[in-house]
């Protein structure tokens, strides 16, 4: 369990933006981008008088509700229109991991070591599964099976309906090095899942049996070996960040390194068109050509590290761990706008279906809704 290890963590990731396509519309030179906060709520049921927690769950948008977890109380749901609390589920030691949603079900891990299936409509627990190790990595749901990594470096496969365990893959980290508090969300492709581990390895595992097919050690750093980034599968390639400050492109079938670029950390890369957006443990946000890893543009944060972003009408939306929510032009890296919530942003933003509102939880546990748009609709470029 990670609690017995040295913990130094600021989860990073940033990405993603638009691509050049037939659907692109140029932005007018005098166009103004307006960022307007309109919604906020304190998610804590009681004041936090202890040490500061890391609040980094991405809000879940379900019908007319916004559901978010904090690292102290558990889960809470609000009516988006009235801001009234609709339900609350107390979970000991809180929730940091982002969740996976399908229809009216939310699957999310907790700091108390349990994976939960939540009925979003009723605000009730359908089932929970005890791993006996904290869960800070987002789960993957694929064809009725829930895959996730525990703090003890075990991969679990559960039946999503019943919570019954199907198989477990155990991997022991014997390096005795300091580790970063985080975890890799599995990626699925052609009957295999791909997971990063704290010993610096990526492992390809049969999704039906839990049997490993291949593994490769990417990070040979003598200080932090973790791979907390979630692998991203794109065609025949896998892209993954590592705490040796490298972004790797490896072959999906054999796990061989194709190229690497010095923009790594704990963030999860994001693919768009022929490019890949990533953030680094050095505070960079960079867009690269995905086939060779050459830099298209890059910028550096002024406040901590960049956090997982979202894509919003050709803009990269990402937070600074000690600063603002930022909006970047995905083609040029130009800053379009920002919003200061106080105490930084640790969660990947959630974006409304109409691509005009960003929801996120701040470092102090407040959930925000921010409207972000150009002041005339005709001049914004859209990327599908």
Residues 6 or more apart in contact with residue 242 via CB below 8 angstroms: 196, 200, 218, 219, 221, 226, 227, 229, 248, 264
Burial track 283-321 (b if 16+ CB lie within 10 A, e otherwise): bbbbbbebeebeebbebebebbbbbbbbbbbbbbbbbbb
pTM over 0.95: no
Find which of 27-31, 136-140, 215-219 is predicted with most confidence, using mean pLDDT: 136-140
Q: What confidence score (pLDDT) does residue 64 get?
A: 92
Q: What confidence score (pLDDT) does residue 222 get?
A: 58
Q: What confidence score (pLDDT) does residue 171 get?
A: 86
Q: Is the pLDDT of residue 177 over 90?
A: no
Do 247 and 229 contact (CB within 8 A), yes or no? Answer: no
Q: Is the pLDDT of residue 199 over 60?
A: yes
Do 361 and 379 contact (CB within 8 A), yes or no? Answer: no
Say yes or no: domain 2-379 is CATH 2.130.10.10: yes
Q: Is the pLDDT of residue 7 over 60?
A: no
Do 170 and 151 contact (CB within 8 A), yes or no? Answer: no
Q: What confidence score (pLDDT) does residue 368 get?
A: 94
Find which of 18-22, 30-34, 268-272 is predicted with most confidence, using mean pLDDT: 268-272
Q: What confidence score (pLDDT) does residue 56 get?
A: 85
- What's the rounded mean pLDDT across residues 247-263? 94
Q: What confidence score (pLDDT) does residue 4 get?
A: 37
pLDDT per residue over 38-69, tens digit each?
A: 889 989 877 765 666 678 899 999 999 999 99
Which band of pLDDT confidence, cut at 50, 70 and 90, is reported for residue 169?
Answer: very high
- Tell whether the torsion through CA atoms of 305, 288, 215 and 193 is positive or negative: positive
Query: Where is pLDDT greater, at 198 or 30?
Result: 198
Both structure tokens of 225:
């070996």
Q: What confidence score (pLDDT) does residue 209 get?
A: 97
pLDDT per residue over 311-360, tens digit each?
A: 888 899 999 999 999 999 999 999 999 999 988 998 889 999 888 999 99
Helix (H, G, I), strand (E, B) or coil at 378: helix
Do 278 and 331 contact (CB within 8 A), yes or no? Answer: no
Which band of pLDDT confidence, cut at 50, 70 and 90, is reported for residue 31?
Answer: low
Q: Which range, of 79-88, 137-146, 197-206, 224-233, averages the lowest pLDDT?
A: 224-233
Extract long-range pairs of 29-34: CB within 8 Å, 24+ residues apart.
31/374, 31/375, 31/376, 31/379, 31/380, 32/374, 32/375, 33/327, 33/336, 33/337, 33/372, 33/373, 33/374, 33/375, 34/337, 34/371, 34/372, 34/373, 34/374, 34/375
Cα 266 off chain centre by? 10
Count the helix, strand and coil residues of the chain and give each as a percent rounded to the nearest 5. 0, 45, 55
Q: Which range, of 133-147, 172-186, 278-292, averages the lowest pLDDT?
A: 172-186
Per-chain mean pLDDT for the chain: 85
Q: What confidence score (pLDDT) does residue 129 get?
A: 98
Do 226 and 184 contact (CB within 8 A), yes or no? Answer: no
pLDDT per residue over 72-115, tens digit each?
A: 889 999 999 999 999 999 999 999 999 999 999 999 999 999 99
Phi/psi at 185 (5° precision): -80, 125
Distance, in Å, from the CA atom of 190 to the CA atom of 167, rounded to the nearest integer, reads 18
Query: Where is pLDDT greater, at 130 or 20?
Result: 130
Q: What confidence score (pLDDT) does residue 216 get?
A: 93
Q: What confidence score (pLDDT) does residue 19 get?
A: 37
- What's the rounded mean pLDDT across residues 243-261? 92
């Amino acid at each position: 369990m990670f609690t017995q290890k040295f913990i130094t963590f600021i989860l990073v990731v940033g990405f993603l933006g638009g691509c050049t396509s037939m659907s692109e519309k140029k932005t007018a030179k005098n166009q103004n981008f307006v960022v307007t906060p309109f919604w906020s709520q304190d998610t804590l049921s009681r004041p936090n008088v202890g040490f500061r927690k890391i609040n980094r769950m991405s809000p879940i948008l379900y019908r007319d509700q916004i559901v978010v977890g904090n690292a102290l109380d558990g889960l809470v749901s609000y009516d988006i229109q009235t801001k009234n609390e609709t339900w609350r589920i107390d979970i000991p030691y809180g929730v940091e991991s982002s969740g996976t949603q399908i229809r009216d079900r939310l699957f999310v891990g907790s700091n108390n070591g349990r994976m939960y299936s939540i009925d979003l409509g009723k605000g009730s627990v359908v089932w929970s599964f005890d791993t006996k190790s904290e869960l800070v990595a987002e789960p993957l749901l694929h064809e009725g099976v829930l895959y996730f990594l525990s703090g003890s470096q075990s991969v679990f496969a559960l039946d999503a309906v019943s919570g019954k365990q199907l198989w477990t893959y155990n991997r022991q980290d014997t390096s005795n090095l300091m580790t970063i508090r985080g975890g890799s969300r599995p990626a699925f492709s052609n009957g295999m899942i791909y997971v990063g581990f704290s010993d610096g390895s990526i492992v390809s595992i049969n999704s039906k049996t839990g049997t490993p097919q291949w593994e490769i050690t990417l990070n040979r750093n003598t200080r932090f070996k973790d791979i907390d980034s979630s692998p991203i599968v794109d065609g025949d390639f896998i892209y993954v960040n590592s705490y040796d400050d490298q972004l790797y492109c490896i072959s999906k079938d054999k796990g061989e390194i194709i190229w690497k670029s010095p923009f790594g950390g704990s963030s999860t890369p994001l693919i768009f068109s022929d490019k890949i957006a990533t953030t680094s443990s050095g505070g960079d946000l960079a867009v690269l050509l995905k086939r060779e890893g050459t830099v298209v543009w890059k910028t550096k944060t002024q406040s901590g590290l960049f956090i997982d972003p979202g894509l919003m009408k050709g803009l990269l939306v990402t937070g600074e761990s000690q600063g603002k929510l930022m909006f970047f032009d995905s083609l040029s890296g130009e800053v379009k706008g920002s919003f200061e919530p106080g105490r930084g942003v640790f969660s990947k933003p959630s974006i409304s279906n109409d691509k005009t509102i960003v929801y996120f939880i701040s470092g102090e546990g407040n959930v925000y809704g921010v409207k972000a748009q150009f002041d005339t609709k005709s001049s914004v470029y859209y990327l599908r």
